[in-house]
Each structure stands twice: as C-alpha cells, then as structure tokens.
Amino acid sequence: MNACIHLYQSTCPRYPRKPSPGICKRCEMYADSGKDRVPLTLSATRKQSLQVQPVPRAEWPLLARIVAGLREESDIGIGSTLERMIASLGGEFYKAAFKTLTGKSCGCADRRKYLDERFPYTKPAA
C-alpha cells in the first residue's frame, strides 16, 4: 500500500485543507484509490456530503413516526409537517426576530428540505 505523503501534513497540493485518510484515498495519486475517485475540490466534497438518502420507513426513529402521524395531505415529509406545526406556535415571529438580531436567515427552509428528503411520505395518509 502506497500511502499519501501529504496525509499528516498541514496542506495538500491537490486539496485546499488538511487532508484526511478519506480524502487521500480518493486521490488518483494514491495507490489504492480504486473507482471511487472524485475531484478533490471543496465544492465537490460538499456536494457529495450533502446528498441525502431517504431512510426506509421501517427504520424511522420514534419521534419521526409520531410526527408522521400528524401529517396532512399537503405535507411531503417530516420537515413540512414540523414547519406547519411550529408555524402555529409562532415560528414566523421567531424567524423575523432571528433575522433582526443576527442579520442572517435562521436556516428553517434548509432544515425542512433536509428532513423532507430524509423522511419523505411515500404513501398516502391513512
């Protein structure tokens, strides 16, 4: 096995941050990289890590199953159901206050999208 010479150094000429064993194994200069090579850029690494795989309904955690029991026809996943429930408790007020205080978005839309992709409703409501 020919390990990467940059593995325990602070930088790598092919990757703009300190490399990890996972990053080194994907590099074409690494001897055992195989077929899983991807471009070693931050955007490619982030894009790959942001791909969300749905969880099979039988493996959902208890809280997700409880929230799913409260769904309405228009909800597409757990995120939509939670957004609707939290909005009725003052979610819009929180979003406005957070934006006023920090000047940034609270991230609710991204969180809703992630949860909808991770725990989607595939069957019609019973």
SS3 120: strand
Q: What's the mean pLDDT in 101-108? A: 88
Report how far apart, in Å, the C-alpha atoms of 18 and of each of 1, 28, 92 are: 21, 17, 40
pLDDT value for 39: 47
> pTM of whole model > 0.85?
no
Distant-in-sequence, close-in-space partners of 74: CB < 8 Å, separation ≥ 6: 80
pLDDT value for 98: 86
Share of the chain above pLDDT 90, in %: 35
Q: Is the pLDDT of residue 115 over 90?
A: yes
Query: pLDDT digit string (tens) for 63-95?
Result: 999 999 999 999 999 999 999 999 888 888 888
